[in-house]
Structure 1
């Protein structure tokens, strides 16, 4: 009696039987999965790195100290003694130069980057440091890296005038683009002047002069960094559209794309898609070679891409970022 009830339950819960009996419902269900998967695939976020937080905080301290030994004694050692008591701190690496200390703090994976940054900032407030010391605490997010860089040059403007034009006319509209975190201008270095004052010394440490050459000519560099949760490809496309508009408005300036993450991401994504299509084709040919049935082969040919599209939809809903590893 119990066995017959169990067999009856198994028969009712036989998914294959239900799918065959309700064939139109099955077809509509898989069509819905395919359509949802196609829409989800078009909205996936792509980035150079996966969406994984590595809690790294950089401490930068500058003071009017003339030698690296003085900086180590009065900056590095006191800071290390205070910072080593932080919870979940896994590794601390410091670099000392005359008047400057940079400390790299690596916390355990899974630790909140915001909480780690707040804890470091609290320690910096309480640290006993020399007078006129300036400190900066920077959380490091791999996905907030530079996504596209442009070389900025002009045949009629000096570098100083070109830099002023960039600050006034080019950088503000780029920073207003959704997904853009910041725009850095490099190459504004000027001839060094002899000045032994502490203020000049600190200014040189905080804003070191840079010199950019594009080809053989002196130029400026614009580096556009995206927000950590932004889609790299979308940000690059928006920036490129804005750059084209700025180029039309500023004919005396040449804006040339020098480097971008988008090309690598697109190439890696296309390589992944090509590999999947090749794998599906090989699987279909092998199955047909064994079964000698076009119907069975067609079922397999449809099942593989449908199952892949079915996995894309949850990824899109959860806003998972797909890394562009080849």
Structure 2
């Protein structure tokens, strides 16, 4: 009697028999699971680095002091003492030079980077720093990297004219795209080819492309943005800009998209083979 009850219970819990008896339900279940898997795969974000934030804020402060010892005593130690009570602060490291100090602040993993940066700025504004001290707090995020870069070339325009075109017409258009954190102009300190004695020093950067002085720009994506989506939007915007600027050539210099697409395709091929 007991054995018969066990057999009956095992027959009721037989998944294979249930699946065969209700084949339409089994087919619907696997179809739904397949669709959900395809949807989840298509919604994955693609990036060169994993979406893990290691919140780091770097403070660069300058003051008119002559020696590194004076700078450490009056500036570095003051900054460290002012910031040591910040919430989530894990580690503090500093380097001191004559009239300058660089303090690196590492926060606990998962701490919001933007709020940490604002907290650092607020704390520094309340600190009693030496007179004429200037400082900036820079947030560092590995995922906020250059997704794509372009060189700006022209056979008719000088480098100075290309810089002006980039600042007025190209960079603002790219900067407003979704997922773009900022657009960095490179080569805006390159001497003008037609005026050897002139230079633009708003940002002391030099750029060379194909062994020639050039103007270029890098598109820095937001940490949480999908790299492939950002690159696609930038490529579309560049194509439109190219039509609006016939005397200028926007030449692709570097992109993360190719490597990511190759890695993604290799993953898909491996899944299909498995």
Normalising by structure 2, we get a TM-score of 0.85
Matched position secondary structure for 2:251: strand
3-state SS of paired residue (2:131): coil
- Structure 2: gaps of 5 or more residues: 192-200
Does the CA-based 8 Å contact 1:153-1:218 persist in structure 2? no
Paired residue for 1:40?
40
Q: How does 1:230-269 map to 2 (within 5 A)?
A: 230-269=225-264
1:1-326, aligned counterparts within 5 Å? 8=8, 10-65=10-65, 68-189=68-189, 208-278=203-273, 280=274
Instruction: Say if 2:190 and 2:214, in contact at 8 Å, map to a contact too.
Output: no
Name which of structure 1's ranges 1-10 and 85-94 shifts more when overlaid on structure 2. Answer: 1-10
- Closer, same or farther in 2 for the Cα pair 1:148/1:70, shift >3 Å? farther
Deviations 1:61-114 (A, max 9, x none): 233445555543432222123223334432222233444322211122233434
150 and 66 in structure 1: CA distance in 2 versus 1, 3 angstrom threshold: farther
Deviation at 1:190, TM superposition (A): 6.0
Q: Cα 1:35–1:87, aligned 2, differ >3 Å: closer, same or farther?
A: closer
- Larger fraction in helix: 1
Corresponding residue for residue 198 of structure 2: none
Give distance in 1, aligned partners of 2:10 and 2:264.
43
Structure 2 equivalent of residue 310 of structure 1: none
Aligned equivalents of 1:32, 1:225: Cα separation in 2: 38
| Deviations 1:163-194, CA, capped at 9 Å, x for gaps | 11111111111112222121111211167xxx
CA offset digits 1:129-174 (Å, max 9, x no partner): 1223222223322222111111122232222221111111111111
Structure 1 CA distance for aligned equivalents of residues 185 and 256 of structure 2? 18
1:115 to partner: Cα distance: 4.4
CA distance in 2, matches of 1:7, 1:83: 70
CA 1:171/1:114 → structure 2, altered by over 3 Å: closer, same or farther? closer
Q: Which piece of structure 1 moves more, 77-86 or 58-67?
A: 58-67
How many Å separate the matches in 1 of 2:7 and 2:73?
80
Structure 1 residues 10 and 253, CA, compared in 2 at 3 Å: closer, same or farther? Answer: same
Hey, what's the Cα distance between the residues in 2 that align with 1:4 and 1:102? 79
Does the C-alpha gap of structure 1 residues 100 and 29 become closer, same or farther in structure 2, counting only changes over 3 Å?
A: same
Q: Which protein has greater RCO, CA pairs closer than 8 Å, 6+ apart?
A: 1
